[in-house]
Structure 1
Amino acid sequence: MATYKWYIWIIQLFIILNIQALVNCVDRGNFKTCDQSGFCKRHRSITPGHSPYYLEMSSFKIYETSLEGIIVNSQNGIQLKFDLIVLKDNSMRFKIKELNTIRHRFEAREALVDRIEESKLEVISQDSEKIILTFGSNKVILNGSPFRIDIFSGDQLVISANARGLMKFEHYRPKSNPKPTEEGEEQNEIQQQQPPVPPEEEQFKDTLWEETFKGHTDSKPYGPSSVGMDFSFVGFKHVYGIPEHADVFPLRTTKGTSDPYRLYNLDVFEYDLNNPMAIYGSIPFMVAHSETQTVGLLWLNAAETWVDVEASSNQGVVSSIVDFVKGNTQIPQQDSHWISESGIIDVFFLLGPGPKDVMFQYAKLTGVTPLPPLFSLGYHQCRWNYRDQDDVRNVDAGFDENDIPYDVLWLDLDHTHDRKYFTWDPYKFPDPIAMQTNLTAKGRKMVTLVDPHIKRDNNYYIHKEATDRGFYVKNKENQDYEGWCWPGASGYLDFLSPEVRDWWSSKYALDQYQGSTLSLYTWNDMNEPSVFSEPEVTMPKDCKHVGGWEHRDIHNMYGFLMVMATYKGHLMRSGGAQRPFILSRSVFAGSQRYGAVWTGDNIADWNHLQISVPMILSLSIAGMSFSGADVGGFFRNPTPELMLRWYQAGAYQPFFRAHSHHETKRREPWLFEGEYRTAIRDAIRARYPLLPLWYTLFYENERTGVPPMRPVWMEFPTETITFDMNDEYIIGSCLLVRPVLEESVVNVNVYFPGTNEVWYDIITHEKYDGGQSVSVSAPLSKIPVYQRGGTIIPKKGRIRRSSSLTYNDPYTLVIALDKSGTHANGTLYIDDFNSFKYREGNFLLLKFSFEKNIISSKILEGKFKTSAWLEKIIIVGLEKAPKSIILFNKNSKTELISKYDENQHLLTIRKPGVNIGEEWKITL
């Protein structure tokens, strides 16, 4: 029997790894559609407008910040507990779960920060039909029959819950298992012992208690348990978010045209584009944006989830409310329908009113990206796999020989001994500490792969400890679950258990992870979790976790929990002195607190380059600020032109890493010829002067939740032309980027936002007025990037081998004057670039200003000593040369040397020479 099992696994593995590799796109037949998912099909079949749920209005209890009541399903009498909580910072939460249940439901509490602050509400009216309450400038109407929630921002209805009556809450019910009948016993007695099937579920009864896909039967021991509800965004034409999908940035209409967007973390390599299929991450957060308002919705549920999106004709229940308030039936509306297989209904409404307000509100719930160490913002070089220590040494030397900076070299799967994580291949990597020391001598770091599947080998200490201590996920027979992944037969650690997470964290200690140093960081891959031997390449839903939870309950946060433990391990190994850097493929709401993410196993294809921009934007607005895509494409071989254009795009995205499959041609940057080689080097080098800007933006991100890479509408929220953009974005508020994403293109159209704005080419300083689209030249050597007038960007002009060698290098300030030529400002954040001492005030936040021909530096916050000084100031857009330039610093007064270019309206002030951390003033 055991031999047969192994044989089946080997056949399945062969099919998965080879059939998908032979086709141009993923085989969709290996992954479920909504029609093949019983709970999705049940919910999607609901007829709008006939909700059986009503609020028991006499049941309400009202408290200072919350109220609670009972919702009743009129079809079966099942009672649900309803809680509404008003939160600080213009947000609101409501929860619905069973009042009397035979089994508790999973709540994804780990995704939230430890403490969510509440705020006062005021009930202004209550009768037998509705309750009206207010908080801040918002009004909430709880309608009794049918149950519906209408949320107003000021006088504007912005969100309505269950307005279409699609709410469905499948209650837990016992499944009868009668004994075999005696001969002649009446059969109908057995039938009477079975739980009755409600009429509305009769057509779906075959999927209620078990379900089969690709030869695997999901036993569903607790029966149907799904939840769903509709939410209408009133006054909105565009919704965004719910990553991760290889699709455009504004979410498409799915109802009647395709499957819903699926949120179910899956290992889908060479994924298809422009469709709602699930891939590696699932963040159930949606943002609606219009010219006047931005709102967000977090559906906190870790089970498999489907989301339908539909542009409404506005003729339903919501339109009647809008008519009453506005007298206008033409208000746009985006309808969404959220469906999860288990768990509770736990919803947060973030009411903005602006896009940056929503980012802040989301961060207050799920946390922020901690300020990354500076090196992680540099360029990363990766391949599956660098063969051995000599290969690593040669690649490292290649960067130096070709004068190309980089910060991190990565080792994939095959650096390990027999694919056992926390080990090194003794023949290929006999002295890993010496290898890392060779890198750190140049300020560089190393990252190694550590995946969640553990090789089932009794001689492997990780497996032995996990087995002895019962740390593996169990199968439905309550035995250690065994699946197949890269090591062969594998166990999967139960990261839902705090004890397992603590144990995993301890394995990163330097005396546990032999051959590791404090300069070695971690890449958690395959953590969806990926299981080659199972349908949909992941763990069966009826596997069991600590506390009796099924895998179906927690699937989408499995990778999140793993990275949580890895992050803690990195903190522990340095005694909390060093900021971790972790990369994860699987993410959930809150993953930003622990690591970065990339868009997975993409293809060396122009279409994949194009889709990387909306994918990263979607992740960015859903909290995953530190995100990027494999430069060049992981699979297949890019043309030199594609490789170059991808480097140019990646240089202006948060996480900048080149990565490739072991079957592709080697593609280190210097292996390309002629103009491509030079231009690729220049693209990588273009990253490094802007590291002070990236670092400052990530500091601001930790404080505000606003991502460094932003959709244009986040900075220009009223410009409707930007709402559908998939190929432009803004870094901070100051750099507009339009990468070249098409083959054989030497001109691109750039939209310059802001009718009162002006933009300057960062290389030529050519000036463009805002509020127009312009065809700009983009030869192979060109990255179309533009600095916004009215901004000041700090740069470091000296290119070193790595960012760690630039800590005390001098700064250059690039001042781009606004349209009037009189104003600009910017900020710079400085600390030790590696520790957490900045949280104790050991940092500097500086503000630079240009006002009325006076340039000034002011310390806004913090105390920190730096040796870096101000080497140069470049002023773009200055109409005439000043007669004199005087520096006032402390009690001294110095005349400075400058050069003015009349054609470019460019003033260069040389060597002010002041310490960058001091306050000073320069008058023109």
Structure 2
Amino acid sequence: MRALLIALLPGVFAVDSSKFKTCTQSSFCDRYRAWTRLAEGTRKPYMVPRTDLKEISQSVFEGSLRHSALPKDHPAPLTFQLRFYDDNTIRFTVDEKDEVVQGVRKRYRIPANDVIREDRLKPLHGVKYVFEPRSATSTFDLGDATTLTLDHDKAILALSVDGRIVQTINGQQQLVVEGTRRQRNDKCPYGLADLSDSYIDPACSPGNHSGLWEESFHSHTDHKPFGPSLVGVDVTFHGKVPAAYGLPEHATTAQKLKAGGDEDDALYRFYNLDVFEYEMDSHAAIYGSIPILTALQRFGGKSSDIATTTTTSSSSVLWLNPSDTFVSLTQRKDTGTWSSLIEGLISGSSTAEPTSLTSWFVSESGIIDLFLFPQRTPQKILNAYHSLTGLAPLPPLFSLGKHQCRWNYKDESEVRELVANFDKYNIPVDVVWLDIEHTDHKKYHTWNEKYFPDPKQMLEDLKAGGREMVTIVDPHIKQDTTYFVYSEGLAQDVFVKKRPDEVYSGHCWPGTSVYPDFTNSSVRQWWASYFKADGVNAGFYTWNDMNEPSVFNGPEVSMDRDLIHGGDIEHRDVHNIYGQYFHRATFEGHAKHRRPGQRPFVLTRSFYVGSHMYGPMWTGDNEASWLHLKAVLPMLVTLSATAGYSFVGADVGGFFGHPEEELFTRWHQLSAATNPFYRSHAHIESPRREPWEYSEAARNRVKEAVQRRYQMLPFWYTLFARYSLYGEAILRPLWFDHLHDANTYACPVDGCDEILDSQVVLGRDVMVRGVVESGTNNVSVYLPEGARWYNAKDEMMPVGMNENMAVTMDTIPHFYRAGSIIPLKMRQRPSTKAMRGDPITLEVFVDPNTNTAEGQMYLDDGNSLDSIDRADYTLSTIKFDGQSISSTEVSGKGDFSILVERIDIIGLSKAVRERILNNPSISAKMSSASGNRVTIKRPNGVVMGKPWSIDLTSIQTH
């Protein structure tokens, strides 16, 4: 849903960008950008005293930072820490010292364990630390050919992997903290006289700087009781950097980030906002913020020709600061100055790499909290990220099926009619959703009794058919003394404040509304208590929307930055994490109260680092257009492959507008095949768009796409299990597992990037190419080198080239990796619950180079929250070796099993194929037009979840 209802009038479908700030309109960003543009030598560098750093606990080193322009007798105002974790992740934090701030304030940092699971992190053992006085450098040897070097005189960090510099922090001398001012209108920090000519920080520098203590945007004035407070630093990725990825969430049709410099439209902004009809291919902020940046880096050649370089690796950084943030990306030649000198120090070479990627991160307030990931490969970086933020819990099995939503299914009879039509047309569906109109005047946890007189019976009827229901619960609370949530919240003092003695109110769907302070753990507990296990709302799952938070009459359609959380924290400090705290509180309400021991399902629109722990997200209010269909994969793949958020989806068909038949069909074909969270949704003014509202041909094509989704659910569920067990990305771009193939990220052919952006790999084994343009009869597909792929006709495809394929309206291209085994359920059912006991089909795609294949299948009860913690599951590994197929490796302690009714083997050698077909003791036949598939029906005694083996030469089962 969107902003003011007036904006929802027919024909008004365009973002009003004037409602949202640019860097120029954000005083802190404009100040920092001007600071970074100063001539070399103008900014005086920070420095670290030429002494050993103190190891304050295992693998945690601490030192002081002082500005070289400060008076010599002035104490160092900043303290920094370097923390080394057992997977070689490095954490660099910078904060002000309490004795220098003198109690004026304490900068906000996210509490321990709220995002970073600090109680579970293991320090890196055996860090070898050496301080070299002559060169004034500290070196940390982390093992695994990874070192970190600190230049004390310039406060520059250099991260080296395999003898090569991969990252430098503050190499451009742009690290800065605007120090605390002790008196209002002080231009310079710490009670210093006016030293602005010395360039202490961006505010304490020559000239007049606006917005230090207050600034206005349209009719809103932001009061800043602590004055200027920005923090910023530069990060350079070395080597030849042909591509960079990440920095979600932004509305984009391209996976690859654009290194466009520091002008307003080139900067990537992170400030969670309710953006009406967001603009595509824009770097402007939208609903979520995970400021993680991944660079692909090639080393070994001196030419800019990528073909002459030898190795490709990846490294990442994560900026953990929930205040308003801008990021700049610039590709440039290394100068051969400091970076080449430090490289020479470490590797004995002074060769500068040709095209590094330089970035800077700046936030309005808070501290510098930067994580460095040197783990070389994208998946190892994700493993390290999940070590920090946690492994996502498994979702309930039903949530991987089809979800059906619109604003709004108006009453109980319409809900029943909806489900009846899905059954009538044999289209599976698992979940029906209700938007805000189901409530009593937008008061959440209530029902409109005129249209929903008996919601409990409605839900029981849905459950009897194997379906579930989700209802919306937003964070804005109607200011009405007769509304129990408001009156109880007021009594318990849970709401965000305008002043210490005044509750803040803003305008949202119910009218005048107040907002719980979800940053407070006791408020989260209070909120969780409303998700009771009994009463009228028991049994429903939850959708959290508008949680950026959206305030229709607020600045940038959100809260004022100077509002008060927890007594002494400003909203500016916590803005981007507010939505996650709301999401978390709802998740905990389900886990602790509504369904203890069972898996919650809570959808969110706003998200932050770590939101994957609490349920899926979706990309918000998209548009029924081909451009927005084109954006589905790039936006979702970026979240999954770089930010560790794999339970993601986009509204099928587009929220605004109405998709014509071809667009509707193509959107379902793509989303059913690729979206981990697969939901249809539509605006209240959009015409009805259930599949039966279109032609019979379109309805049948959608039905086939949905039915294939359900056939693939054993594969999908296994992907989710590996995501929850190991942090493996579910959606992957081609470069993720194929860094050896430069065409997956640096293809020299015009239009190649658009082809790659239309493809995705599910896990490692299934590739899908979306059809994202109208009237298309053929598409180009790139199949990466290093793997072989079968098409849907069981034909082996050529690799390493753009293959042109004819397409019809009936399907979109699918490919299966040679060497994989895919578990399926082929019987047509109306829901996941109805499929529970159905037997398995195994599709074995033989690798012609090795004559082998391997896959896995995960089984559990589909609903217990602690299945993985208690190892109450089975994870079976299935192997084909050219002569036999077996599943002898079964992990987990659960007792789950399911019959295998069919094994299809694709790509057998001719000799083995003939032996199977001529064996009278089994039911085997050729079963594809290509003559490349052999089907073994009802193999005796083959049960997934238990060990088994079939010798294909004699067809004996063990």
Please state which band the TM-score falls in when normalised by the shorter chain.
Answer: over 0.9
1:407 maps to: 430
Q: Which amino acid aligns with 2:659?
A: P
Listed as ranges, the gaps of 5+ residues in structure 1 are 1-11, 179-191, 888-892
- My pick for the range that moved more, 327-336 or 126-135, is 327-336
Contact kept, 8 Å, 2:184 with 2:226, in 1: the verdict is no
Q: 1:249 to 1:882 in 2, by over 3 A?
A: closer
CA separation in 1, counterparts of 2:128 and 2:878? Answer: 44
Most deviating of 437-446 and 537-546: 437-446
Query: AA paired with 1:219?
Result: H
Count of residues paired in the alignment: 889
What amino acid sits opposite 1:67 in the alignment? F
Q: Give 1:718's aligned residue.
A: 740
What residue is the counterpart of 1:75 in the other structure?
69
Matched, 1:230 2:216: no
CA contact (8 A) 1:821 1:877 kept: no
In the alignment, which residue of structure 1 is the partner of 2:92? 94
Matching residue's letter, 2:898: A
Matched, 1:581 2:601: yes
Structure 1 residue matching 2:498: 3-state secondary structure: coil
Aligned to 2:926: 900
Preserved CA contact (<8 Å) 2:92 2:370 = yes
Kindly state the Cα deviation for residue 564 of structure 1 after the two structures are TM-superposed: 0.9
SS across alignment from 1:630: coil
Correspondence 1:241-390 to 2 at 5 A: 241-247=246-252, 248-256=254-262, 258-290=265-297, 291-315=311-335, 317-322=338-343, 325=347, 326-390=349-413
In 2, Cα distance between equivalents of 1:332 and 1:805: 56
Asked whether the equivalents of residues 323 and 329 of structure 1 are also in contact (C-alpha less than 8 Å), the reply is no
Tell me, yes or no, if the aligned pair for 1:226 and 1:339 is still in contact at 8 Å: yes
- CA–CA distance in structure 2, aligned partners of residues 596 and 364 of structure 1: 19
Structure 1 stretch 35-44 or stretch 906-915: which is displaced more?
906-915
In structure 2, the residue corresponding to 1:852 is in which secondary structure? Answer: coil
Q: Tell me the equivalent position of 1:845.
A: 875
| Residues 223 and 729 (structure 1), Cα distance of their counterparts in 2 relative to 1, 3 Å cut | same
Equivalent residue for 2:164? 156
CA-CA distance at 1:22 after TM superposition = 4.8
- Name the residue aligned to 1:187: none
Q: Are the structure 2 counterparts of residues 571 and 477 from structure 1 closer, same or farther at C-alpha, using a change threshold of 3 Å? A: closer
Contact 1:766/1:904 (<8 A) preserved:
no
How far is the alpha carbon of 1:132 from its aligned partner? 1.3
CA–CA distance in structure 1, aligned partners of residues 185 and 666 of structure 2: 63
Task: Give the CA deviation at 1:115.
Answer: 2.4
Contact 1:368/1:623 (<8 A) preserved: no
Q: Contact conserved, 1:122 with 1:134, CA < 8 A, in 2? A: yes
The farther-off stretch of 813-822 and 426-435 is 813-822
Shift of 1:465: 0.7
- Deviation per residue, 1:278-336 (Å, 9 max, x gap): 00001121112235211121111111110001112222532444566444334331111
What secondary structure is seen at the aligned counterpart in 2 of 1:203? coil
Alignment counterpart, residue 123 of structure 1, candidates 123, 129, 135: 129
Which residue identity does 2:49 align to in structure 1?
A: E
Distance 1:134 1:273, change over 3 A: same
* Structure 1 residues 789 and 921: alpha-carbon distance in aligned structure 2, compared to 1, 3 A threshold: same
What is the 5 A alignment of 1:439-458? Answer: 439-458=462-481
Residues 135 and 173 (structure 1), Cα distance of their counterparts in 2 relative to 1, 3 Å cut: same
- For the aligned residue pairs, the C-alpha RMSD in angstroms reads 2.2
Partner of 1:835: 864
Q: What is the CA-CA distance between 1:754 and the residue it aligns to? A: 2.0
CA–CA distance in 2 between the matches of 1:95 and 1:193?
Answer: 24
Question: When the two structures are superposed, what TM-score results if normalisation uses the length of structure 2?
Answer: 0.90
Report the Cα offset of residue 478 of structure 1. Answer: 4.1
1:825 equivalent to 2:832? Answer no
Q: Work out which of the residue numbers 536, 550, 554 in structure 1 matches 2:556.
A: 536
- Residue 673 in structure 1 maps to residue 673 in structure 2: no
User: Residue 862 of structure 1: CA displacement?
Assistant: 1.6
Residue by residue, what CA displacement relative to the aligned partner does 1:523-559 show, whole Å, maximum 9, x if unpaired?
0000000000012000000000004100000000001
Give the letter for the 2:686 counterpart.
Answer: T
1:869 partner SS: strand
Quote the residue 2:457 is aligned against. Answer: 434
Q: Against the structure 1 CA distance between its residues 837 and 86, is the aligned structure 2 distance closer, same or farther, given a 3 Å change threshold? A: closer
Equivalent position amino acid for 2:400 in 1: L
Deviations 1:76-108 (A, max 9, x none): 455200111111112111111001323111112
Classify the secondary structure of the residue corresponding to 1:206.
coil
Give the equivalent residue in structure 2 for 1:144.
Answer: 152
Match of 2:302 in 1: none
Q: CA contact under 8 A between 2:81 and 2:92: conserved in structure 1? A: yes
The amino acid of 1:874's aligned partner reads D
By how many angstroms is 1:38 displaced? 0.5
Q: In the alignment, is residue 31 of structure 1 matched against residue 20 of structure 2?
A: yes
Contact kept in structure 1, 2:405 and 2:681, CA below 8 Å: yes
Partner of 1:727: 758
Matched, 1:874 2:910: no
Amino acid at match of 1:217: T
Deviation at 1:276, TM superposition (A): 0.6
Distance 2:320 2:327 in 1: 13
Q: Is the 8 A contact 1:509 1:572 kept in 2?
A: no
* Corresponding residue number in structure 1 for 2:304: none
Deviation at 1:133, TM superposition (A): 1.6
Which one of the candidate residues 671, 694, 707 is aligned to 1:650?
671
Aligned to 1:3: none
**Distance in 2, Cα, partners of 1:660 & 1:492:** 27
How much has 1:352 moved relative to structure 2?
Answer: 1.1
Q: What amino acid maps onto 2:273 in structure 1?
A: L
1:505-904 equivalence runs, <5 A: 505-511=528-534, 514-518=535-539, 520-574=540-594, 576-620=596-640, 621-651=642-672, 652-723=674-745, 724=753, 725-755=756-786, 757-762=787-792, 764-820=793-849, 822-838=851-867, 839-866=869-896, 868-880=898-910, 882-885=913-916, 895-901=921-927, 903-904=930-931
Once the two structures are superposed, what CA deviation does each residue of 1:5-28 show, in whole Å capped at 9, x if it has no partner? xxxxxxx986x7428975442111
Instruction: Please tell me whether residue 473 in structure 1 is matched to residue 496 in structure 2.
Output: yes
1:916 — aligned with what? Answer: 944
Instruction: State how far apart, in whole Å, the 1-side matches of 2:195 and 2:462 are.
Output: 65
Give the residue type in structure 2 aligned to 1:276: H
| TM-score using structure 1 length | 0.93
